[in-house]
Structure 1
Amino acid sequence: MFVIGATKKLQSQIDKTIESTEEYEQIPQIYQWQANLIKVNGRKCLILMNNSTALNLTLFGLESPQFENIDNVIKGSMNQLFQTLGIEESIAEKMLETSQEIVYTKTSSRQTLGLMNEVKASIEQQTKNKEYKDIDAVTINQKNNRMIFKALEGQTPLYTFQRYFEE
């Protein structure tokens, strides 16, 4: 099961029951995420970040039909992210298997939300002065997962994610 802490902005876009965070505290942090909605060039974008490793996924240009099927959009995009980042297949399969059930709660990790703000700033920098059609989502997601974060002891989300499964 994935537990996704949704910001108020995201909660207003998705037709999902928002569960109590207390019910899911026992779920390992590797299966807990925070999600926020931002705008890039006037279009809605979703930032999803893992609580344990800060692995992150940005989905650009989401529209109503995608919000209606947000679980499937997240699962499919997560699969693409794992392929793009060269995540070992067995790890990707384990994560995708765990994502078969997704529940939404209020946000629960201030640290993750803080790291998401750094990713948001990176996205803004990478998309500055670009037409929407010229934004390369794959490159942005790769760069954002290779950013060094002080909160990750000077490591990248990708390295931290891979190391999690080695231990």
Structure 2
Amino acid sequence: MLVLRCTKKLQTALKLKKTDLVDASVETSNFCSWHLNLIEIDGRPCLLVANDQTLFNFLIADVPQLDATQLIQLFKSYLHCVLAAEGFEQTFIQNLMTDFAEVRFANTNSRRVLGSLNELAFFYLCHLEDEGIHSPRLPEIIKKMNRVVMGMISSSAINEVHDLFGLERPQHQW
């Protein structure tokens, strides 16, 4: 089961009610719990997403007004693309998507992850400041952000994902 832990701001934008949320302490396996925050870059709404355990992250720029079902599809689509861009095999990605068949929304439950999201938001803002959110370099920036050593995990997100699934770490090229 996939759990999308949304900030209050995002819950309001999605018009989620308390009855739409599962208990924040719901247990999930490995890569199945994600924090999502609605941020603003260049006056445009953007969705910042990070995995709770690995801090593997991505930014969805210029997000239109969505309902919950549309957000789930957008999340899965972007995650699929980002994982493919990182070189993960299609069978691996498809297995994850199968694990994500059931999706639930919840409140955020980790100040540490929220703090990391705020740090990531600042980094993305700095990278996109000159070029704007429609920069053709956004995929490259996302890749770079997953190679930043984050204090919460004392490693880079991409290495954490590989370690989590027992995969060989990628050779980083700068």
User: Alpha carbon RMSD of aligned pairs, Å?
Assistant: 1.9
**2:47 corresponds to 1:46:** yes
The answer to whether the Cα contact below 8 Å between 1:87 and 1:162 also exists between their aligned partners in 2 is: no
Moved more, 58-67 or 5-14: 58-67
- Provide the C-alpha distance between the structure 2 equivalents of 1:28 and 1:125, rounded to a whole number of angstroms: 33
Deviations 1:91-130 (A, max 9, x none): 3222211222211111011111111111111101101132
Q: Structure 1: give runs of 5+ residues left out of the alignment.
A: none
The answer to whether the Cα contact below 8 Å between 2:41 and 2:125 also exists between their aligned partners in 1 is: yes
| Shift in Å, 1:164 | 0.5
Change (3 A) 1:62 1:80: same
The answer to whether the Cα contact below 8 Å between 1:59 and 1:137 also exists between their aligned partners in 2 is: no
- Provide the C-alpha distance between the structure 2 equivalents of 1:88 and 1:64, rounded to a whole number of angstroms: 32
- Provide the C-alpha distance between the structure 2 equivalents of 1:5 and 1:159, rounded to a whole number of angstroms: 23
1 or 2, which has the higher helix percentage? 1
Equivalent in 18, 22, 26 of residue 19 of structure 1: 22
Could you tell me which residue of structure 2 aligns to residue 81 of structure 1?
82
- Provide the C-alpha distance between the structure 2 equivalents of 1:104 and 1:111, rounded to a whole number of angstroms: 19
The answer to whether the Cα contact below 8 Å between 1:7 and 1:37 also exists between their aligned partners in 2 is: yes
- Provide the C-alpha distance between the structure 2 equivalents of 1:63 and 1:9, rounded to a whole number of angstroms: 15
Q: Structure 2: give runs of 5+ residues left out of the alignment.
A: 168-174
**2:10 corresponds to 1:10:** yes
Query: What is the count of residue pairs matched by the alignment?
Result: 164
**Identity across matched positions, percent:** 21
- Provide the C-alpha distance between the structure 2 equivalents of 1:99 and 1:42, rounded to a whole number of angstroms: 32
Change (3 A) 1:131 1:116: closer
Superposition TM-score, scaled by structure 2 size: 0.86
- Provide the C-alpha distance between the structure 2 equivalents of 1:40 and 1:135, rounded to a whole number of angstroms: 16
Superposition TM-score, scaled by structure 1 size: 0.89
